[in-house]
Chains A and B, each alone.
Chain A
């Protein structure tokens, strides 16, 4: 009987160690920091080259597209547009197709890292919240209680 428990124990230990090891190694390269703009704008140098998911709002009227290619440039601010101050502003550049929900004042999460010319968004790295459906719902949620 003890022989059997040793076997089971050893198997569990090996599997457990292998699992933790793999998890550790993949998490190290797989994770991205989720930050608001104000949290990183102060010491941008420190975040240079680190993988980030940057949360903010598109500054109205700042996004321009190169007509000959799929390059976009836009600015993102920390606070929602109806807020009195904008908070920190970051310039971002992106190449690719923007999601349909991307527009002025849209709440966005940008995946990428800081480079020499502001925030460089990686491919398919723009996620924009669908405002018409969910925003008002949460507004009535807070006032309804």
Chain B
């Protein structure tokens, strides 16, 4: 199967090169047949990559551990869902997944536009093929996901890290990749337009929808990453300005800028160079972000490992992209001249321009901050880093300015606003903002910065309500329906505009959530059983700390009663889970009590199972849930703007208002599904599948659990502490037996003898033979072998040293290292 996969990748590479060359040649010679052939090869790549993906998923499902990648990111007991998502769990697979997505999106884009933009298509095909070739080249020569073990194949995989076995984390990468890869399509159309010189606004129409689509998935990807960090990492926050997080944010800024400035070009034929540049920069940043996180250039705790070859390949590719695109832009500058000038700074295009500058500034600033350690090392020789406070200090005012513009932009008229329409448009929103500000002062909430943000949120909401209300009122008068129907009709009439407003509403809610961060409270304390402590309006009481086991993992759960105003609200179950085989890496299961005003976030930091004391870190996070809600509304708004004309008019005719409700319900389902999947069971102790745990309590017990082999027959003689045929009753009983024997005060050897005696007296069930008598020979054997080998090599070295350099090799390398080297050498021979 693995060789089939490798072959498919190679075939894709060949097809890509063919389609790139033939499409360009066809376009230059004006040969329709050559172009068609190139497009055909382009579709073929999509088919080949789909097959390769199928091979990969099949390997994961059937547990083909002879493939290194499968062995590394999966194991046989992993749930089906995570087996599939392991496809993009690592570097090699994620590159392959990238090419797969790109081939699918590219084919769709070419298919949809094959008639409308006939003159652009050959170059679109060539550009996308070139990008695919780069990634395929990476795989073929450097990181082939189908690399196999050429010597012995392991019978079991290493498994996905427990931290990543989370619903949000499983769907976060594909969403982010969809966003990243989607940005290639606008780039390809932009390049095609530049090459052909068809620089009227028609190429923009082709890419607008794609950019919106990619932007939507980028936003969802960022959102999923945030909610994962919040739920799984247990530090009470959601954004750390980590390089990996920033990488996703960079193209998001420039894509947002493009979505706004493209309107200016459509309406006023301005900013034409700017828009082409934004498309190029956005694409460049997606590649750059991948480079940053995959090559080890930037130090990050969760960046992928260092890989110099990859870094150089990426650098070369990025240099090519930048030189080629910028040279093209300069070459076409005469065609890109703006046809209009800015009439007034009090116009919508001016507001969009400022918004663009600020978004671009944000992107450059985040890029600067992220690359700062690398830059300072290159310039000053000192590795200096900047941390979250630095980013926050800068991005806070920037965010507030953007929020103001969100409100101001739509209210200004195109070309020039008069004083009269300024008053007319701004009166009520400003009043809303001022009233909120006054309320903030009355409530003694500090005006800088949270209070100010709240006031701005009120202002922007005011403008949005006003827009909807006025538009609805006009439409109601014209059509004679009720207000709600009129508003829905309004959205249908101008989906982009009103969809955009819905997105803005989402942004307001997200900002509201960010502002809530200013009122965050954190407290850490130790609670003995029965003790209480308070934070904010909550009182927490430790009822018990219980240990249980469900076969796959041991769970230490704190039972914490939550009181407010003397009444018990809830019982929270913060926990630590120790997955078998990953005992050294417990996962923190946070208990979050979600309410719209604030989240109560309880982390079990430590515990003492004997005294049942719990160390808790508790956060009260006001308004956090508004961020998630805001993202939902943002997605809904983008969905409205993206809906094809036909679908909407059909929906409007058949089921008024149904669309929005369905989309909302669907989204809610997905998110709720996520919560239930990733949420911990409410009452672990009561679950029928749990049993008493015989987790190693002492080093001696741990050692015994490693030495005694499970006899269940299904796990390939794993130690009883590691048997992965979960839930395995046999290993469980053996652990119980060991624990009971130890409780009787028996020593290591006594326990082993007793266990052997009670299971037929065979030493089969020992991971290593007992160190006595004849068994010692077995112990000695590897040493004899190793020593003999050393002597022989030394002898050979002396003998050969007369003619050649002496071999300094000693058999010190462990067997696994040796195997790996043989693997590599064999591969070089291939």
Q: A32 → chain B, closest Cβ, in Å?
A: 5
Q: Which residues of A contact B68 (CB under 8 A)?
A: 140
Say whether B389 faces chain A, with CB atoms less than 8 Å apart.
yes
Q: A22 → chain B, closest Cβ, in Å?
A: 8
The docked-state distance in angstroms from the alpha carbon of A50 to that of B586 is: 33
Q: Which residues of A contact B296 (CB under 8 A)?
A: 138
Q: Which residues of A contact B608 (CB under 8 A)?
A: 67
Q: Supply 6 further A-B pairs (C-beta < 8 A) apart from A32-B384, A145-B309.
A: A27-B390, A70-B524, A70-B605, A109-B301, A139-B305, A144-B142
B582 pairs with A111, CB closer than 8 A: no
Say whether B750 faces chain A, with CB atoms less than 8 Å apart.
no
* Total inter-chain residue pairs, C-beta < 8 Å: 132
Q: B341 → chain A, closest Cβ, in Å?
A: 11
Q: Which residues of B contact A45 (CB under 8 A)?
A: none
**A30 with B305: in contact, given A70-B526, A97-B605, A141-B310 (CB under 8 Å)?**
no
> B389: which of A30, A96, A134 is its contact (CB, 8 Å)?
A30
Taking each of B142, B310, B385, which has the highest tally of chain A beta carbons within 10 Å of its own beta carbon? Answer: B385
- Residue interface bits B220-261, CB-to-A below 8 A is 1, else 0: 000000000000011100000000000000000000000000
A111 pairs with B585, CB closer than 8 A: no
Interface residue ranges, B against A (CB under 8 Å): 68, 72, 89-91, 142-143, 147, 158, 160-161, 163-164, 233-235, 296, 299, 301-307, 309-310, 372-373, 376, 382-387, 389-390, 393-394, 524, 526, 582, 584-588, 603, 605-606, 608, 613, 615, 617, 820-821, 824
Interface residue ranges, A against B (CB under 8 Å): 22, 26-27, 30-35, 53, 55, 65, 67-70, 95-101, 103-104, 109, 111, 124, 127-130, 132-145
The docked-state distance in angstroms from the alpha carbon of A95 to that of B617 is: 11
Q: A31 → chain B, closest Cβ, in Å?
A: 5
A101 pairs with B306, CB closer than 8 A: no
A33 pairs with B615, CB closer than 8 A: no
A27 pairs with B386, CB closer than 8 A: yes
**A138 with B383: in contact, given A31-B390, A34-B373, A70-B605 (CB under 8 Å)?**
no
Task: Name the residue of chain A whose CB is nearest to the CB of B296.
Answer: A138
The docked-state distance in angstroms from the alpha carbon of A13 to that of B431 is: 35
A34 pairs with B299, CB closer than 8 A: yes
A124 pairs with B304, CB closer than 8 A: no
A130 pairs with B524, CB closer than 8 A: no
**A31 with B584: in contact, given A97-B603, A109-B301 (CB under 8 Å)?**
no
A65 pairs with B161, CB closer than 8 A: no
6 interchain residue pairs of minimum CB distance: A138-B305, A30-B390, A34-B383, A97-B605, A141-B307, A127-B301
B615 pairs with A70, CB closer than 8 A: yes
> A103: which of B304, B305, B585, B613 is its contact (CB, 8 Å)?
B585
A134 pairs with B820, CB closer than 8 A: no
Q: Which residues of B contact A124 (CB under 8 A)?
A: 235
Q: Which residues of B contact A103 (CB under 8 A)?
A: 584-585
The docked-state distance in angstroms from the alpha carbon of A134 to that of B161 is: 10
Q: Is the interface of A mostly helix, strand, loop or mixed?
A: mixed
The docked-state distance in angstroms from the alpha carbon of A16 to that of B386 is: 21
B90 pairs with A30, CB closer than 8 A: no
Q: B421 → chain A, closest Cβ, in Å?
A: 26
> A130: which of B301, B389, B605 is its contact (CB, 8 Å)?
B301
B586 pairs with A100, CB closer than 8 A: yes
Q: Which residues of A contact B586 (CB under 8 A)?
A: 100
Q: B379 → chain A, closest Cβ, in Å?
A: 13
The docked-state distance in angstroms from the alpha carbon of A100 to that of B229 is: 13
Task: Name the residue of chain B whose CB is nearest to the CB of A132.
Answer: B161
Q: Can you list 14 A-B contacts (CB < 8 A)? A: A26-B394, A31-B372, A32-B384, A53-B385, A65-B606, A69-B615, A70-B524, A100-B233, A109-B301, A129-B301, A130-B301, A133-B164, A141-B306, A145-B309
The docked-state distance in angstroms from the alpha carbon of A69 to that of B588 is: 18
Q: Which residues of B contact A98 (CB under 8 A)?
A: 605
Q: Is the interface of B mostly helix, strand, loop or mixed?
A: mixed
B147 pairs with A34, CB closer than 8 A: no
B526 pairs with A69, CB closer than 8 A: yes
Q: Which residues of A contact B387 (CB under 8 A)?
A: 30, 32, 111
**A100 with B820: in contact, given A34-B373, A132-B585, A141-B143 (CB under 8 Å)?**
no
B526 pairs with A68, CB closer than 8 A: yes
**A145 with B526: in contact, given A26-B393, A30-B393, A100-B163 (CB under 8 Å)?**
no
B147 pairs with A144, CB closer than 8 A: yes
The docked-state distance in angstroms from the alpha carbon of A124 to that of B608 is: 22
A100 pairs with B306, CB closer than 8 A: no
A32 pairs with B90, CB closer than 8 A: no
Task: Name the residue of chain B whose CB is nearest to the CB of A95.
Answer: B524
Q: Which residues of A contact B235 (CB under 8 A)?
A: 97, 99, 124
**A32 with B588: in contact, given A70-B524, A138-B307 (CB under 8 Å)?**
no
B386 pairs with A30, CB closer than 8 A: yes
The docked-state distance in angstroms from the alpha carbon of A133 to that of B372 is: 26
Q: Which residues of B contact A142 (CB under 8 A)?
A: 307
A132 pairs with B615, CB closer than 8 A: no
Q: B579 → chain A, closest Cβ, in Å?
A: 10
B233 pairs with A99, CB closer than 8 A: yes
Task: Name the residue of chain B whose CB is nearest to the CB of A129.
Answer: B301
Q: Which residues of B contact A135 (CB under 8 A)?
A: 305
Q: Which residues of B contact A96 (CB under 8 A)?
A: 524, 605, 617
The docked-state distance in angstroms from the alpha carbon of A98 to that of B68 is: 32
Q: Which residues of B contact A144 (CB under 8 A)?
A: 142-143, 147, 824
The docked-state distance in angstroms from the alpha carbon of A96 to that of B147 is: 43
Q: B560 → chain A, closest Cβ, in Å?
A: 15
Q: A112 → chain B, closest Cβ, in Å?
A: 12
Task: Name the residue of chain A whose CB is nearest to the CB of B372.
Answer: A31
Task: Name the residue of chain B whose CB is nearest to the CB of A39.
Answer: B383
A100 pairs with B588, CB closer than 8 A: yes
Q: Which residues of B contact A140 (CB under 8 A)?
A: 68, 72
Q: Which residues of A contact B163 (CB under 8 A)?
A: 100-101, 130
Q: A50 → chain B, closest Cβ, in Å?
A: 11
Task: Name the residue of chain B whose CB is nearest to the CB of A25.
Answer: B393
Q: A107 → chain B, closest Cβ, in Å?
A: 8
Task: Name the residue of chain B whose CB is nearest to the CB of A33.
Answer: B384
Q: Which residues of B contact A104 (CB under 8 A)?
A: 584
> A136: which of B72, B143, B390 is its contact (CB, 8 Å)?
B72
Task: Name the residue of chain A whose CB is nearest to the CB of B357.
Answer: A15
Q: Which residues of A contact B142 (CB under 8 A)?
A: 144-145
The docked-state distance in angstroms from the alpha carbon of A43 to that of B89 is: 43
Q: B266 → chain A, closest Cβ, in Å?
A: 26
B385 pairs with A134, CB closer than 8 A: no
Q: Which residues of B contact A30 (CB under 8 A)?
A: 386-387, 389-390, 393
Q: B624 → chain A, closest Cβ, in Å?
A: 17
B301 pairs with A34, CB closer than 8 A: no
B234 pairs with A97, CB closer than 8 A: yes
Task: Name the residue of chain A whose CB is nearest to the CB of B393.
Answer: A26
**A132 with B603: in contact, given A67-B613, A109-B301 (CB under 8 Å)?**
no
